[in-house]
């Protein structure tokens, strides 16, 4: 079996992007209509476009999957995933449970789905340090329980709690050596 795509899913601030970076595989860049956060760069973190553009891509069959998360669209282009599945070089992607399910259903043998877990209070504190408005923080925390229950669809769940980062990182590095 050869894995082409490693997907990270989990609650907001559980550490998906942090662990993805440690995997050191090229990333699939997805699309969003949300505004960039400070430090985020178009084409590196996401392709940042407006809602109309996202809907245009979706309605013209350019998106393999698209989801609405807290008032913004997020989606993965058809071309980016087709390319990955045909390539020898595996890649990684971060997405929500719905998107992960859709891609895994299409390519069950090619996808490794990694769930990332951290305690609710730890996620809340990590979000606080992003200095986002209170209502954005509350919205993100409001889906925490549902997102944790969706971790059951993953092939592997990493405990990325504050006191367990070293082990989570070690497992990711080990996986990266096997895949890269």
Query: How far is C-alpha 144 from the chain's CA centre?
Result: 15
**3-state SS class at 169:** helix
Helix or strand (DSSP H, E) at 137: helix 134-142
- What burial letters (b/e) apply to 118-142, b meaning 16+ CB within 10 Å? bbeebbbebbeeeeeeeeebeebbe
How crowded is residue 47: how many other Cβ atoms within 10 Å of its Cβ?
17
13 binds, options ligand ATP, ligand LQESDW3C, none, Cβ within 5 to 8 A by partner type: ligand ATP
Smallest distance, ligand LQESDW3C to C-beta of residue 12, A:
6
Size of the site for ligand ATP (CB under 6 A): 14
Q: Please select the residue that binds ligand LQESDW3C; options are 30, 33, 92, 160, rule is CB under 6 A.
A: 30
Q: Does 65 bind ligand LQESDW3C (CB under 6 A)?
A: yes
Of 84 and 94, CB closest to ligand ATP: 94
Residue 120 or 178 having the CB closest to ligand LQESDW3C: 120
- Summarize as ranges the residues that interact with ligand ATP (CB under 6 A): 10, 12-18, 94, 126, 129, 160, 162, 165
């Amino acid at each position: 079996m050869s894995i082409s795509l490693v997907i990270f899913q989990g609650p907001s601030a559980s550490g998906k992007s942090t662990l993805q970076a440690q995997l050191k595989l090229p990333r699939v860049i997805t699309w969003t209509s949300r505004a960039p956060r400070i430090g985020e760069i178009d084409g590196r973190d996401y392709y940042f476009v407006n809602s109309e553009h996202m809907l245009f891509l979706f309605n013209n069959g350019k998106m393999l999957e698209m989801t609405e998360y807290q008032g913004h669209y997020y989606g993965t282009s058809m071309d980016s995933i087709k390319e990955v599945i045909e390539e020898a070089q595996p890649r990684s992607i971060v997405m929500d449970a719905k998107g992960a399910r859709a891609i895994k259903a299409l390519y069950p043998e090619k996808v490794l789905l990694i769930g990332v877990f951290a305690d609710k209070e730890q996620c809340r504190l990590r979000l606080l340090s992003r200095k986002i408005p209170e209502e954005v923080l509350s919205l993100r925390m409001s889906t925490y329980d549902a997102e944790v229950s969706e971790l059951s669809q993953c092939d592997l769940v990493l405990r990325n709690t504050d006191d367990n980062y070293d082990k989570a990182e070690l497992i990711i590095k080990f996986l990266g050596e096997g895949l890269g």
